[in-house]
Amino acid sequence: MVKKHRNSTRRSFLKHSVALAAAPYIVPASVFGRNGNVPPSERIILGGIGIGNRGSHDLRWTLPEKDVQFVASCDPNKSRREKVKKLVDTHYGNTDCKIYASTLEFLAERTDIDAVLSTTGDRWHALAAIMAMRAGKDVYSEKPSSMTVAEGRAVVETARQYRRVYQTGTQRLSEGNFIFANELVRLGRLGKVHTVRAHIAPWDAAEMTHKWLPEQPLPPKDEMDWDLWLGPCPWRPYNAAYTRGRWRGHYDFHTSCIGEWGAHTFAQCQVAIGAGKTSAIDYKYVNNVSGDGMVTTFDNGIKMTLERGDRYWRGSCGVRYEGDEGWVATADGYSKPDVSSPALLTDFKKIVADYRARTRRPISHVRDFLDCIKSRNKTVADPEVMHYSMSTVHAANICMWLKRDLKYDPKTEHFINDPGADRFLSRAMREPWVI
């Protein structure tokens, strides 16, 4: 009887298989990469961590890329993760985007994901990147990408150990006007550069508050997991304003007005002057609330001045490079940079095109990240570019907090003969959110 049943089952299976083979089977063109589609085997499967207001911009830059499939988003705030799901599902015309509250659950469960877009608040950037890289994901992390020198070093070492591709969100390193300004320096068009100027945010202060906002009743955990939102930060009472951006200006959550825009402009300046893999060594304290006018000096002798105002550019995140034969300045919203002589702009398009040919990089920060995921090359804003520019941010902050001049050694990553300043190179992290 058992043998007859097996034969019957086998005959039924074969008849069913023949019927399926005879029936017409339509395979979507997208499976083969036709009609401009990318076959599934070549798509980058992407997930998101902490995608809020800024992250939505990054996501909108990413979704149109044909070789990307965004499949899941993680956030302790239910309304935000559902907002992301709606955006993604509307883009793809389906309901497939999954949502998670816990980063640990998200990373453990989604073994299919190749890379993550991490756009949390400052407090989570380094830790989220490290957790994702340890889980085998490549990472695009919004800036400022570390809270301390120790966090930045941990990101560098994790990327190296796990052989992960990492891009920090200093997107101006991939924009034409800023590229052109950097290339003028590299090509010697400004002569010997002696001074660069970096924009810092014109709000908040360098010295941040340690006070708490008034306590409010905790919402249901499935609406807002406050413990997850805080992550590695010290525990403090819940207040909804924190979750709407009021964490800025608070020591536990922020990198100050210096880090807010300096994360962009310091990286820009340091790459331009060949100091992308080092930090400033000398910091001169200025007696004001923001660090405006602070002069930092690199070991090549070039000075970088922190500028809060708009004397040297129009718009946000401006930089200016000054040499003994000319200067260039640019910021957001420029059609072309400002220059000391119109002759510097005559081959603007050629210089940008030559940069692209030489580096094989696109004029798109997200596209550079995606290309490097495939090639396994380093991104334009790789972990070391992030770490050394953020180390300059952190050292400038510490200078302002201690109200004294400082000397820093980028090789040892310690201040010179200053144990008091060294205390600020790392922060305690709340269990279990530790590196």
Domain 173-207+254-362+383-425 coded CATH 3.20.20.70: no
Tell me how far apart the alpha carbons of residues 159 and 344 are, in angstroms, rounded to a whole number: 39
Domain ranges for the chain: 38-171, 173-207+254-362+383-425
Banded model confidence at residue 400, pLDDT cuts 50, 70, 90: very high
Q: Is the pLDDT of residue 63 over 90?
A: yes
pLDDT tens-digit map of 282-291: 999 999 999 9
Identify whether the C-beta of residue 95 lies closer than 8 Å to the C-beta of residue 70.
Answer: no
CA torsion angle 186 314 278 373 (round to 10): -80
CA distances (Å), 58 to each of 148, 248, 413, in order? 24, 20, 32
- If DSSP codes are grouped into helix, strand and coil, which group holds residue 147? coil
Fold agreement between 38-171 and 173-207+254-362+383-425: no
Which pLDDT band holds residue 23 (cuts at 50, 70, 90)?
A: very low
Radius of gyration of the chain (CA): 25
**Is the model more confident about 69 or about 16?**
69
Structural tokens at position 230: 């805080």
Mean pLDDT (whole number) for 390-401:
98
Report whether pLDDT(349) > 70: yes
State the pLDDT at residue 33: 52
Query: With contact defined as beta carbons under 8 Å apart, do 76 and 100 qualify?
Result: no
Please say if the pLDDT value at position 54 is more than 90: no
- Confirm or reject CATH 2.60.40.1930 for domain 38-171, answering yes or no: no
Proportion of the chain above pLDDT 70, given as a percent:
92
- The token pair at 205 is 């202060």
pLDDT tens per residue across span 69-107: 999 999 999 999 999 999 999 999 999 999 999 999 999
Query: Pick from 262, 286, 264, 273: which is nearest to 322 by CA?
Result: 273
Average pLDDT, the chain: 92
pLDDT(10) > 70:
no
What's the pLDDT at 53? Answer: 85
Query: For residue range 215-226, what is the model confidence (pLDDT) as tens digits?
Result: 999 999 999 999
Task: Look at residues 111, 114, 103 and name the one whose alpha carbon lies nearest to residue 81.
Answer: 103
Distances (CA, A) of 316 to 188, 312, 335, 368: 26, 11, 14, 23
DSSP 8-state code for residue 371: H
b (16+ CB within 10 A) / e for 153-172: bbbbebbeebebbbbbbbbb
pLDDT digits (tens, 9 = 90+) for 113-154: 999 999 999 999 999 999 999 999 999 999 999 999 999 999
Phi–psi pair at 108, nearest 5 degrees: -75, -40
Give CA separation, 203 vs 248, 266, 316, in Å.
10, 18, 12
